[in-house]
Amino acid sequence: RPAGEMKVATRTTMCAAMKRKAILMRALTSRTTTTTPTTGRFSFFSNHGDDQRRYNRRQNHEKFTRRRLQRGGASSSGGESWSDDDKSSSTNSNSASGGTINSPLLRFDDALYEYLLKNTREPKLLKQLREETKAFSPVGARMQIPPEQGNFLRLVVEMINAEKIIEIGVFTGYSSLAMLLPMTERSYDGDVRFHACDIDDDAMAVARKFWKAAKVEHMVREHVGDAKVSVEHIKEEFGENYFDLAFVDADKRAYMGYYEQLLPMMKKGGLIIIDNVLWYGRPVNPDFDKDKKTIAIKEFNEFVVNDSRVSHSLVPIGDGISICRVR
């Protein structure tokens, strides 16, 4: 290429490079350096870009979270600054308390709960049982698990393919029927699938009626009387490592005893589900500090969260359930 053309091409290339550099410098000088008050870290934000909007959203979320924590009685630090006592108690326990609350807590009002029920599956027979239970015992109907919890139990039976189930505290049979219905879809070998333990034969009569309507009565063996005695008789007959799933919704003061009775009777990987472990909010209500049932629930919760024999999760379904998977 002639020398003149080479010089023109070189000048053109240099001009383009200088132009790009000038554009970059203008972009940098048009940005503002800001220190975020919550972290103390420097960030560069465009005066008109998406970064500023993201920063504003983060600031608003942090303000909202701080207000929620303060209304909930937490410290203004949100648990980020612990005392030495807090650190030692956290180290010596499996509890998650003492840490930062990562998101605002969901609170149910009537409209939100109605929305939940609208999006919860409930077989027609279970709905009929709810209505009959209300007629049978308007006051006692609150002892019956809610539809979303019944739906959860049905799902658990399907997920773990439970074949042998024991329930302590049947009442009118809503929870038992919820767990039995998925078993109708499997082949039946004639063995007892479900052991139903309750002290109230009148309530069991309602359950019996609906087991028959669902054509599952042949899978059930009833044990009417003191559940502790019934469980011992079942253990003598069937031995240990027998059950896939246990559901306990009975005398709260006997929870610890039922739990210890059931543990050796469960297969490895079997689930023990304990109901009412949030007990209408009473474990954190000072008015119930001397209530024997509340004390028993609190003692059980504090025990099971540290029990190395099981994997454990406390789930806020219904009135709270503890799910314990036997290791």
Could you tell me the end-to-end alpha-carbon distance of the chain, in angstroms, rounded to an integer?
Answer: 81
How far is residue 50's CA from residue 301's CA, in Å, rounded to a whole number? 47
Binned average pLDDT, 10 residues per bin, the chain of 327 residues: 52 61 55 39 40 54 53 38 40 66 75 95 96 89 92 97 97 97 82 94 96 96 97 96 97 97 98 97 96 97 97 95 98
Residue-wise pLDDT for 254-309, tens only, equals 999 999 999 999 999 999 999 999 999 999 999 999 999 999 999 999 999 999 99
pLDDT of residue 42: 35
**Amino acid 14: pLDDT:** 61
Query: In this structure, are residues 196 and 223 in contact, taking their beta carbons and an 8 Å threshold?
Result: yes
Q: What confidence score (pLDDT) does residue 202 get?
A: 95
What integer pLDDT is reported at residue 99 of this predicted model?
A: 66
Residue with tokens 């709270």: 320
Please say whether the beta carbons of 148 and 318 come within 8 A.
Answer: yes
Q: Which residues, at least 6 apart from 198, have a Cβ–Cβ distance to it below 8 Å? A: 168, 169, 170, 171, 204, 207, 223, 224, 227, 250
pLDDT at 87: 39
Q: Strand, helix or coil at 67?
A: helix
- How far CA 50 is from CA of 24, 29, 54, 58, 60, in Å, comes to 18, 17, 6, 12, 16
The answer to whether 166 and 262 are in contact (CB under 8 A) is yes
Alpha-carbon dihedral 312, 266, 225, 128, rounded to 10 degrees: 70
- What is the Cα gyration radius of the chain? 30
Distance (Å, rounded) from C-alpha 274 to C-alpha 320? 9
* Strands 220-224 and 194-198, bridge-based pairing: parallel
| Whole-structure pTM value | 0.71
